[in-house]
Amino acid sequence: MSRRPQIAIDGPVASGKSTIARLIADRLGYTYIDSGAMYRALAWAARKRGLTGRQEEEAAALARDIAIRLEPIPGGGNRVFVDGVEITDEIRTLEIGQLASELSAIPAVRERLVAMQQEMAAEGGVVMEGRDIQTVVLPDAEVKIFLTASPEERARRRRLELQSRGTDVDFDQVLEEVKRRDHRDMNREHSPLRPAADAVHLDSTGLSIEQVVEKVLEIVKERCG
Ligand code: DC
């Protein structure tokens, strides 16, 4: 039986992939899966237990033990649960993002989360966004988009997002954070952030959200008919 298409959208922090992936899923009636939220959920649980990114074995055991669940919000993102407790909003802090990035460099952690993501996408009809979706999680995805924007544009977007959640941070601090996470996500030994050989590269600097959505929908049409 042939499955429905899989759409993989990868890119660096604040490249707009969540916004774009959500809108594409909504337009196509597909399920949106935020894989980064799963690493953030693990970071939330790790932080609660006082673990750091250096405690590899403990983090791997935690990844095996906890139940991470994503629930689609119609027309929106994902509600996030760890062991039945909703943590959707709590995981959206710089601190949790940083710890998620550190924990995501641990191979046994990735192995566990990748297996969960593959299971969630098995039937297709999904738009999954992250760092390694097109290279590792769904290498057979019909559509692979590598979405980028300049670090300054991404820091500006990230700052606006944090402000909308009531956190006011200095632009330079956000820019530094963006660059630090880029560096770690792109240079880690396991599954670094990089485009697949057959990815379509899209630079969203200076483009409106609608313009990017239109471009992605065109690519989907080309690839999936
Ligand atoms: O997309 P995000 O900022 O919510 O992701 C948080 C961290 O999780 C990110 O810095 C790296 C990691 N991550 C990953 O390694 N692989 C993914 N597929 C998604 C996220």
User: CATH code at 110?
Assistant: 3.40.50.300
Q: What is the CA(196)–ligand 1 centre distance, in A?
A: 17
Classified as helix, coil or strand, 86 is strand
Q: Is residue 1 part of a domain?
A: no
Residue 179 has what pLDDT?
94
Residue 115 has what pLDDT?
98
**CA 111, 178, 204, 158 torsion: positive or negative?**
positive
The 10s digit of each residue's pLDDT in 168-185 is 899 999 999 999 989 988
Which residue, by CA, sits nearest to atom 7 of ligand 1? 101
The 10s digit of each residue's pLDDT in 116-156 is 999 999 999 999 999 999 999 999 999 999 999 999 999 99
Q: What is the CA(225)–ligand 1 centre distance, in A?
A: 30
The 10s digit of each residue's pLDDT in 191-202 is 899 999 999 999
Residue 24: give the domain boundaries: 6-224
The average confidence (pLDDT) of the chain is: 95
Q: Is residue 69 part of a domain?
A: yes
Q: What is the CA(101)–ligand 1 centre distance, in A?
A: 6
Q: Are 80 and 148 in contact (CB under 8 A)?
A: no
The 10s digit of each residue's pLDDT in 90-119 is 999 889 999 999 999 999 999 999 999 999
Domain count along the chain: 1
Q: Is residue 210 part of a domain?
A: yes
Q: What is the CA(99)–ligand 1 centre distance, in A?
A: 10
Test site for ligand 1: of 91, 101, 193, most ligand atoms within 8 A of the Cβ: 101
Residue 94 has what pLDDT?
84
Which numbered atom of ligand 1 lies nearest the CA of 105?
15
